[in-house]
Amino acid sequence: MKKITLFLVFIGMMTLQSCEVTEITDTVDNDTISEVFEVTTSFNSNNNYSRLVTFNPPIYSSDVVLVYHLYDTVNGEDIWKLMPQTYYFSDGGELDFNFDYTRYNVNIFLSANFSLTTLPSSWTQDQTFRIVIIPASFATSVNKNSIDAVMSALKVEKTEIQKINL
């Protein structure tokens, strides 16, 4: 009887050892939650050449904020530049479009090595920005310099961009 029990245990161990577990992986990315906002604003001495855009609700502490400036439109195509962005003038002047952010807001501001009051209105009035909120882990896997690459990777259509009125 002991030999039969030992034999059955041996067969059972062999059977269990050869079992293979196949994991099914979900290839659909369901946890990359992103938001894209577009805001048009003007800068002047009254707002200290800065604009605050509030997040409602606040973003996750692990999120990253990218801000793009609509620099120009050429042949109907928008030219977006990732901020911070420095523009150089022929007289040696340097204008910076910059931003900082917290979980609660993003502050877009201008700074320069000259008086901002001398800037032509084309640099201060009706400036358009895209604010893209993405998880930090996603930010390492996409070409952030290209807004088209970011929008494509996030699978965000232009019609899904939320307009913010300040």
Which residue did the predictor score with more confidence, 98 or 157? 98
The overall pTM is greater than 0.75: yes
Mean pLDDT value of segment 34-53: 95
Output the CA torsion 123→124→130→132 (10° steps).
Answer: 110
How many angstroms separate the CA atoms of 162 and 116, rounded? Answer: 30
Give 28's pLDDT tier (boundaries 50, 70, 90).
Answer: very low
Ordered DSSP codes for 62-108: TEEEEEEEEEEEETTEEEEEESSEEEE-TTS-EEEEEEEE-SSEEEE
- Would you kindly state where each structural domain of the chain is located, as residue ranges? 25-164
Residue 23: per-residue pLDDT: 47
DSSP codes of every residue in 100-145: EE-SSEEEEEEEESS-GGGS-HHHHSSEEEEEEEEEHHHHTTS-TT
Mean pLDDT of the chain, nearest integer: 85
| pLDDT tens-digit series, residues 113-141 | 999 999 999 999 999 999 999 988 877 77
Over residues 135-157, the pLDDT tens digits come to 888 777 788 999 999 998 888 88
Question: 75 or 5: which carries more pLDDT confidence?
Answer: 75
Residue 85 has pLDDT above 90, yes or no: yes
The pLDDT score that the predictor gives to residue 14 is 57
